[in-house]
Structure 1
């Protein structure tokens, strides 16, 4: 949008660069507002997040039990930030943290706090956890919101602890008892986590619902007293598996949000930097690509050990930010404390924030160009993952994410409820061992294939109903011909770190006549596997292109020979639907095994399956060395391609200490309906020759350091 349009738009449609100084209790004594105003300008921020109240108040609250920062004294630090921010024309969000309170507060209102089945209150570090169903949330916090609106008129609020205690705690306060009994068929609360107890399963769904009720309540309050654009925004973590621990329903949040505040500050050991571009794709897929999605990005040290006051290695922070921008995330710097002795952290982001400002026109109001959809749902995390979500859900999800990224295949995450809505833009759907499906979701998958779409799925996909119970019939049988025998074999025991773990020493056998998806494996007749498989009847539509070799001893080496070198047990199956859609089924959990081991052979199998299913419809080809994350967009009369160099970052733990340049990189983009003449490299600042041939735009990037954004127009 132009400057005039921006000036007349609500803050949440025009504020794309954010800053947060997460205040500590002693900051009121030492905070230098003029220094921070200079830092805001250096980072080109348009909005700031300022600590207001909840666990700690940074203003003179009129509520006696509202605990004030130890160093606050007579200072109104919230007021100082608001005044300075308004003078600099910034949007302002008041940050809350409402999940715990002091001993004095508990003594005054013990019925507002979480207790276990024996009535013992839950507390950590001397603070008591407030119950989301109590008047702490329903009456007290709304009054605090009103007070802050009256005093400071913030543009909105955000809270990173709005979901209350984690799923590990079942609150048995009187508020929860009464509410649960009234809303769940007169049932009593479950005493403990028991996945065989139907009441516990209902408590899971009810717990999500209670959080969203508070979301709606707080927004009603802020809009009533602050106006229609005064929004309350709970922070979310975009990891579709991670959010379940806090009962944050990403789909419901996305549908409600004018802007999504994402609190996902750095990579983790499993997901890597590519997680951050995925964060943008996933949240935009829920909220819409017209929404702004800022993300808190840590400048302090995170990893195996975290140091709140130490500067994160610069390139570690920078690459996380770069990946976020490639996925449509808005940058939001995050520092702990207003005064720092380790001043190196203040140099981490300004150059990137300035680049973002310079190239803002290319980073918004665009749509992804991808015809592969990776399906997910939180119900699957809950009712298939149950007590083992990392193993059952995270690993296969991550396995496909990494395989697609590594193979430079553009894809978008798609919620299982949105298949019908997204189907027109997709040629291939992937179900990464997505076992739990509702009847409606199953029908959407069948409709997709019957309309000519292709399907890649693995393991237990679609074998369980919405509560995680085994279905009497496989709901995808009509489109695949596959019938499940509901027998799982192979490495079904808990995985161990013992290198000689017998159960995982199994393989695939490749036939003499190779399917095209097994290209690249001509010099081997076997492939390492390491997982479990589902026994299925293939039917007439599908045929096995690889079979299973059972495990045999790995140690001592003298005993390491195949006891049963050949079986007729299908491990990978392919077929075509009458509509023309292609079907690829991994009976073996290749996605989970690749997510665990990152063994290249397994990643190649996954990527090859998707390429075969997509036939010649993939819109992007990128050739050259390195581990690259490639994100392609279309915007009005142009294409925009992000290339992020993740080479050398594939392993964790560790930190990025230097970028490893790669190149040359040859790029081909399938273009439709546009007469393209220029290829501008917006990081290098140069234009490269562009060749148009048979509907493909081709160009070359000589060398790639950390990232490049290419604009074709």
Structure 2
């Protein structure tokens, strides 16, 4: 059935998003039953489903000669499945993947393939990798898309494994693509040959990073124009150019991924999507399986549920992704917890419409950031119950910063002049700008800056950066501002340190004890205490710049000692003057505040992460007799748990609301009505 739509209605706006991705295998289409498929979705109360459609394999009868049609289409058709979903009010997203073609198609057009620096293609079980810059993705994929979304009544579209793929499903690395299309485009852009390896210190590789950014943006714009040209009503995943549609991400695991597990994966993904692209739907999926190699075995049920709790608590929708169909999946251990959260959201979905974060702190991040440093700061803020948003570098300049009292730049090196100047202006207007280590030491095209990035920091000159500081410490002074260190006089250091000269207006805190003897025990002592600071505070206009010349976040992310986190907590609270949620919440409970716009109510979410133990996610420990203190302008009319349906005991005094909870399992959502 051909589809023709001139509608521009954005169905996903203020839509209570509950998606399930059934990543259908070829064999799932042999006996698929449309009505059973819908009944299974309804058991979960899902209202969006993603189905494999086009690209590597066509899951529908295609008329295009270079679109490999599945030989297994003997069950109900994709058209029948879509129609059955629509009858029950379920939206359908087309999953596409143009990163590979079947071997027979490659044989007809070998020029479409990715080519390694050694001149080799990647053939993985008969699927050959193709290059973003080749004619298949540039010219043929748009024709496949047009056919799929005009012949079938889809509501949205998602592109899987886009961009420059340099690994196969076994995680084998092949290197930068050296196909003729890449060589020609790169030479035209930079009058240079492609780099042979990914070396961040190589000037040619820095150009290649710019090349990738530009070509990816051009490709996305082309594909989005194709889609909206024939179906302006379709929801496009990850359409960052128009900043509408949905942002589709994954919380997943991999057997050989470096530890520690990122326990805030769903919070992290959801937070940046909601904060940086407020007009888009955040759809962060919990991936059911362990890794590519073990797609039929599920991860811990509690880990799956925790991800959904984190997504809701940070303002996102719900999303669950499994291999195969719901009815024939062989490890359904996660179903109970996933259904519980989907059912809760189905009952209270309207409570999550048009909500905005009450964060007063922004944490900067982006694709070229130091993710270890960022994750350490994410933990500092979360586990000390500071309310914060994540602003992505790509869109930070397009967002208002009025509500923020502080912005943290966690060792993010490549920043544009425009962004560094606006960050300075933020401090000058009265905000606190916190810059960590090498933040802004490069411009947006990865070139070293000739001048220092932030005037607000009070740095006059960087003398050197020392990478090996093992056995170093900072000697604590200003003890009145660091009450978390009543008997501790040293804070340890074990990574980069920036030796710099500072303005006379900058106040220095702590004193660096440089590397010294640590063995044998008889000679384990230091003899030197320098004037090099642990951090500085520089007045700037109506605000201030705080400069930290080392990387506490990276250290905490790797090692997790409270010696580091308590330093940052005191710095934020007693030096920067930032407020946090008070009470007796343990660090393992994540707390977020969202305002229900136009309804005079606030949502307080609590996510209990005590089940995360080592590398395992168990059921959380039920917590008792909790008190949560949040600032409020006036006494509330009511305080009620949406999750349990029970009213909460509370008290109000001097602009501070104290909410009392008898019990907290993994999740609670407390509505504070004024």
TM-score by length of 1: 0.86
Q: Contact conserved, 1:113 with 1:121, CA < 8 A, in 2?
A: yes
**Aligned match of 2:186:** 180
Q: Shift in Å at residue 15 of structure 1?
A: 5.4
Please name the residue that 1:585 is paired with: 547
TM-superposed deviation, 1:548: 1.4
1:698 aligns with one of 655, 658, 669:
658
For 1:27 and 1:33, how far apart are their aligned partners in 2? 12
Most deviating of 13-22 and 338-347: 338-347
Residue 137 of structure 1, CA deviation: 1.4
- In structure 2, the residue matched to 1:500 is none
Mapped pair 1:625 → 2:612: no
What is the correspondence of 1:608-623 to structure 2 with a 5 Å cutoff? 608-615=570-577, 618=579, 620-623=581-584
Match of residue 207, structure 1, among 192, 203, 212: 212
Residue 526 of structure 1 and its aligned partner are, at CA, apart by 1.8
- Alignment correspondent of 2:425: 447
Q: Deviations over 1:599-645 (max 9, x none)?
A: 11101111221223542x53632433351111111112111111111
CA 529–430 in structure 1, closer or farther in 2 if over 3 Å, else same: same
Distance 1:254 1:691, change over 3 A: farther
Q: Which residue of 2 aligns with 1:85?
A: 85
- Contact preservation (8 Å) 1:630, 1:644: yes
Contact 1:625 1:664 in 2 (8 A): no
Q: For each residue in 1:207-248, what CA deviation from the matched residue of structure 2 results, as whole angstroms up to 9, or x when unmatched?
A: 1222222222222222223x21124435xxxxxxxxxxxxxx
Aligned residues: 652
C-alpha distance in 1, partners of 2:450/2:592? 41
Q: Which of 452, 456, 477 is residue 479 of structure 1 equivalent to? A: 456
Partner of 1:26: 27
8 Å Cα contact 1:372-1:411 kept in structure 2: yes
> Which deviates further from its counterpart, 412-421 or 292-301?
412-421
Matched, 1:461 2:461: no
- Which blocks of at least 5 consecutive residues in structure 1 are unaligned? 1-6, 235-251, 382-392, 494-502
Distance apart, 1:564 and its partner CA: 2.2
In the aligned structure 2, how far is the partner of 1:19 from the partner of 1:539?
56
Residue 638 (structure 2) pairs with residue 678 (structure 1): yes
SS at match of 1:89: coil
Q: Secondary structure at the match of 1:262?
A: strand
Is 2:503 the partner of 1:526?
A: no
Give the 3 Å change call, closer, same or farther, for CA 375–613 of structure 1 in structure 2: farther
SS of the equivalent of 1:367 reads strand
Match of 2:265 among 247, 265, 275: 275
The C-alpha deviation readout for 1:654-711, integer Å capped at 9, x for no partner, is: 2x22211223222222224x65211111122211233332222222122211011111
Distance in 2 between residues matched to 1:218 and 1:460, nearest whole Å: 37
Find the aligned partners of 1:119 and 1:641 in 2 and give their Cα distance: 56
Per-residue CA distance 1:359-418 (angstroms, 9 max, x = gap): 11222211100111111233x43xxxxxxxxxxx12111111011111011111123462
| CA displacement 1:433-475 (0-9 Å, x = unmatched) | 2232222112112111111111222212233333333333323
State the Cα deviation string for residues 101-135 of structure 1 (Å, max 9, x = none).
12211111111111134543233333211111222
1:311 is the counterpart of 2:311? no
Q: Are the aligned partners of 1:301 and 1:308 in contact in 2 as well (CA < 8 Å)?
A: yes
Cα separation, 2, equivalents of 1:84 and 1:277: 33
Contact 2:35/2:81 (8 A) holds in 1: no
CA contact 1:15–1:47 (8 Å) conserved in 2: no
Aligned CA RMSD, in angstroms, stands at: 2.6
Alignment of 1:571-582 (within 5 A): 571-579=534-542, 581-582=543-544
Answering whether residue 510 of structure 2 is matched by residue 546 of structure 1, we say yes
Q: 1:180 to 1:542 in 2, by over 3 A?
A: same
Q: 1:88 to 1:284 in 2, by over 3 A?
A: same
- The 3-state SS of whatever aligns with 1:12 is coil
Kept in 1: contact 2:16–2:350 (CA 8 A)? no
Matches of 2:65 and 2:384, distance apart in 1: 59
Alignment of 1:261-410 (within 5 A): 261-265=248-252, 269-270=259-260, 272-288=262-278, 290-301=279-290, 307-338=294-325, 339-378=328-367, 380-381=368-369, 393-410=370-387
1:93-132 equivalences under 5 Å are 93-117=93-117, 119-132=119-132
Name which of 464, 482, 505 aligns with 2:471.
505
Please state how far the C-alpha of 1:172 moved relative to its aligned partner. 2.5
How far residue 164 of structure 1 moved from its aligned partner, in angstroms, is 4.1
Which of 514, 522, 536 lines up with 2:479 in the alignment? 514
Q: Hey, what does 1:242 align to over in structure 2?
A: none
For residues 262-299 of structure 1, the C-alpha deviation after alignment (integer angstroms, 9 at most, x for no partner) is 233469744633231222221122321x4322222222
Residue of structure 2 in register with 1:660 after alignment: 621
- CA, structure 1 residues 488+179, in 2 after alignment: closer, same or farther (shift >3 Å)? closer
Listed one character per residue, the Cα deviations across residues 165-208 of structure 1 (whole Å, up to 9, x for unaligned) are 149633232322333333x1443333433444433322211212
Distance 1:15 1:410, change over 3 A: closer
Question: What's 1:496 paired with?
Answer: none
Pick from 237, 256, 259 the counterpart of residue 233 of structure 1.
237
Change beyond 3 A, Cα 1:466–1:515: farther
Residue 3 of structure 2: aligned partner: none
Separation in 2, partners of 1:170, 1:301: 28
Q: Give the deviation of 1:309 after TM superposition.
A: 1.2
Aligned to 1:244: none
